[in-house]
Structure 1
């Protein structure tokens, strides 16, 4: 019997899910010969590409939008420029991140590649009098899947199409109302798209034998779907606070709950209306691949800036500037999804002060500024590249990033946090600090005493066994065994 996994991928419209617990769980299950079917309730026109880029090609799936749009195609066969009919005098101008199409010196259309590889086309913007008129979303199976209609640059209607180009679902963006012609229901109008998705998803899940397992990412929409199922389904709810909604919701008919770390347990217990087994299983497996045995002359500190308020991040940056001024072998890599103009300004101010000092050269000032590297959120592959050389992970957020912490364990990298987590043993593979000013003393210890590095390597080896694939799989086997036996809470 397959395990039916309901992810939460609505934020991944055209992107590869990054640091997503259910992606890693699907890999772990398939690696251990468990049959998996994905139950996808999100609109993902590049879904085949997403599976391929995550090493999950060939995985069985059911899609709510495929059902609504009467799509039975499974193979990836993306559209190219020449699959469309263009005006005979159209000119194609290839740019770095798009293809402009000009007709009689007027902007006729723009073709956008899909992130991140660019080997697929994502969408086509059709222009009229230099204003966006329609946006065509391209499905990676070779058809236009959705048409977004604009008036004065404002979305007024969205049409979801069948592969033959007929309108299957129409969403009015002014009222939210959705109209559809579905053979499986006599209802033709729904108050919004979520209501329609909920209806078709519940219908599909009710066709599954109750003894089969549903492994569901905790979201408000998924909980609404599950709450409409009759009793008897083996529902396992997974929660990962790194990326879950701020409001914790647990389905009333769930049989088990899986948290990603102990700190999530109180909120999950408080929001569970019935007493069910609650296990803690880390979402990401550690794989020990130790880097350098000791510090060297190029030492990047990777700072995860997110979840830090303005005052604290300014304090941290000024502390890091002081460190760099004392240790020119250090580089600071700042990863943030937020604007970092304020942090750049603090570095620029320190550079100006340095330039005014006697004996300071332009080259010295530039070298100092080059030691601060600002990067947007990175993919898993990019993070692996960074962590091959990273010297230390700094994460002062209230909830340190679980994936980064797992990477730090895998690479034997010390961590500096402000809160305790299962991935950091204080005084062994890192330190729990209260104030940014403490960073300087700790880093100096790491730089000056190789014994600290020996402690870090020893702790990394031990922790890597606690979080490796085999350990995680053994925990999941217990959960799956309980679900298959249909045991009640407390029974073995």
Structure 2
């Protein structure tokens, strides 16, 4: 069986992963290596289990969003709190015990509870509409916060002392009995005397000590010689794994470039804990091999794409426009204006080209300024204008703002995997000139049969096969014309991409994982 130790914490506290109210929650790329590894294993009916060591009362909502809700899991805080409930159920805040003279005011964002014209509580909801938390007030100041589980019960209560940093969090079971109390900022833990028999200590110096206790107990009971532990290579997870003792050949660290940078000293230590490293990109493979080869415990480095390919060919050849998708994420500052300048020159000569700038961060203001400067340098103010795709789609009333007679250089903020797939559906050419091309975009482009232009050679794009590798920015115009003037080169890239799809299919990636598992036995 594959056991996965993910890194999904969003809180500063390594052990906490609580959800945000729906109006504060920003859409963003949540996708990582662990999520897709689990998705692939589900499809292939491979035995797998998640090891959730953080306090995650809205875990099921996250798993449902990622389409991995059905994966079995060990939850350390469920054990600590004595919870064995698996499924979500609804809980209405009006079903709770409120004073008889309470009055509720419904706003577009939350519900306000008032008592005798005084603020009594603020009721917050998650993005799926479930009750998230209730903040109670005393003299207009927060006095306590009730945190609810998405399975429909009160999970914990935070008491706020006079000092902002001093507070206590009490964790409950399904019957409302408190199990443990965590005191801040010291982080020491008290155990309810009624449940001493379920813990090895009556008090713990910190919450991590308790989590490691439950983690080790579970591994001792369930982890066999045929199992493999896949650890998301992140500082928090690495620190936890350093506290447990497992055979080196049964531990695998999975490195994901978007999670954290490679740390040489850290990698040297990891070779003592694991015999295998999984890497997502060529750069990561090279870095890990370079470090591992000079250690006493050399680890095998295996490159496995965290993203599987699917045959989802776009329909760009069916539309007249020639859409270029330019990923500006991590594009060197020195390259930004030259790249835009080359593309605008090309657009002047080809009226069918539509340029769309995309980024995983909301850098619209910055790029609007850069684009406008390049347009001025090209003396093309009468020809081109910067435009936000959201405003174009929503058809704002003041059409004059968009100078409809001018061709638009469009900006798009990518906030989810679905946004990327949607953009690629009618894209003719993808350009990513970063020193490390975006892996998800590369695999998604292969799935859509779209040729790519890069500056760096990777395992995913082969020169003059499913894309072009240029050495200098001044070669960009020629590279664009190679694919947009006529269909011969573009069709050849499409055919080659279709052949590459099987290479990164779930079936073939699973074979690599199975090989690692057999070597661990």
TM over 0.5: yes
Instruction: Say if 1:202 and 1:308 are closer, same or farther in 2 by CA, change over 3 A.
Output: farther
- From 270, 273, 280, the equivalent of 1:260 is 280
Post-superposition CA distance 1:123-169 (Å, at most 9, x none): 33444555544443321111232334556894533514113444444
| 1:372 aligns to 2:410 (yes or no) | yes
Query: What is the alpha-carbon distance in structure 1 between the residues aligned to residue 474 and residue 121 of structure 2?
Result: 54
- From 18, 28, 42, the equivalent of 2:40 is 28
Whether contact under 8 Å (1:17, 1:23) holds in the other structure is: no
Name the structure 1 match of 2:13. none
Query: What is the alpha-carbon distance in structure 1 between the residues aligned to residue 312 and residue 201 of structure 2?
Result: 58
Query: What is the alpha-carbon distance in structure 1 between the residues aligned to residue 136 and residue 407 of structure 2?
Result: 43
Query: What is the alpha-carbon distance in structure 2 between the residues aligned to residue 13 and residue 251 of structure 1?
Result: 32
Of 62-71 and 259-268, more deviation after overlay is shown by: 259-268
SS in 2 for 1:330: strand
| 1:139 aligns to 2:149 (yes or no) | yes
SS in 1 for 2:403: helix
Whether contact under 8 Å (2:430, 2:450) holds in the other structure is: yes
Name the structure 1 match of 2:70. 58
Name the structure 2 match of 1:6. 5
SS in 2 for 1:374: strand
Of 60-69 and 385-394, more deviation after overlay is shown by: 385-394
Matches of residues 290-309 of structure 1 in structure 2 within 5 Å? 290-292=313-315, 294=317, 296-309=319-332
Whether contact under 8 Å (2:191, 2:203) holds in the other structure is: yes
Query: What is the alpha-carbon distance in structure 2 between the residues aligned to residue 219 and residue 309 of structure 1?
Result: 26
Matches of residues 228-307 of structure 1 in structure 2 within 5 Å? 228-232=243-247, 234-244=250-260, 246-247=262-263, 249=267, 250=270, 252-269=272-289, 270-271=291-292, 273-292=296-315, 294=317, 296-307=319-330
Whether contact under 8 Å (1:242, 1:401) holds in the other structure is: no
SS in 1 for 2:243: coil
Query: What is the alpha-carbon distance in structure 1 between the residues aligned to residue 60 and residue 517 of structure 2?
Result: 27
Post-superposition CA distance 1:24-44 (Å, at most 9, x none): 212222322222121111222
Whether contact under 8 Å (1:347, 1:369) holds in the other structure is: no
Post-superposition CA distance 1:210-247 (Å, at most 9, x none): 41222222223333333333353622222222324543
Instruction: Say if 1:427 and 1:100 are closer, same or farther in 2 by CA, change over 3 A.
Output: farther
Post-superposition CA distance 1:32-69 (Å, at most 9, x none): 22221211112222222233333333322111121222
Of 443-452 and 410-419, more deviation after overlay is shown by: 443-452
Per the TM alignment, residue 425 of structure 1 is displaced from its structure 2 partner at its CA by: 0.9
Unaligned 5+ segments in structure 2 are 11-16, 20-24, 386-398
Q: Which has the higher contact order (CA 8 A, sep 6+)?
A: 2
The alignment covers a number of residue pairs equal to: 478
Per the TM alignment, residue 100 of structure 1 is displaced from its structure 2 partner at its CA by: 4.2
SS in 1 for 2:166: strand
Of 285-294 and 61-70, more deviation after overlay is shown by: 285-294
Per the TM alignment, residue 315 of structure 1 is displaced from its structure 2 partner at its CA by: 4.8
Whether contact under 8 Å (1:179, 1:190) holds in the other structure is: no
Per the TM alignment, residue 436 of structure 1 is displaced from its structure 2 partner at its CA by: 4.5
Post-superposition CA distance 1:348-393 (Å, at most 9, x none): 5567898975999957635658542231x42223322222223333
Unaligned 5+ segments in structure 1 are 485-492
Per the TM alignment, residue 108 of structure 1 is displaced from its structure 2 partner at its CA by: 4.3
Instruction: Say if 1:324 and 1:45 are closer, same or farther in 2 by CA, change over 3 A.
Output: farther
RMSD: 3.5
Of 153-162 and 5-14, more deviation after overlay is shown by: 153-162
Whether contact under 8 Å (1:159, 1:168) holds in the other structure is: no
Of 242-251 and 381-390, more deviation after overlay is shown by: 242-251
Matches of residues 450-489 of structure 1 in structure 2 within 5 Å? 450-484=487-521
Name the structure 2 match of 1:208. 222
TM score, norm. by length of structure 1: 0.84
Whether contact under 8 Å (1:17, 1:50) holds in the other structure is: no
SS in 1 for 2:155: strand
Name the structure 1 match of 2:89. 77
SS in 2 for 1:236: strand
Of 170-179 and 201-210, more deviation after overlay is shown by: 170-179
Instruction: Say if 1:431 and 1:352 are closer, same or farther in 2 by CA, change over 3 A.
Output: closer
Post-superposition CA distance 1:98-133 (Å, at most 9, x none): 444455665544433324xx3323333444555544
Name the structure 1 match of 2:370. 346
Name the structure 2 match of 1:189. 204
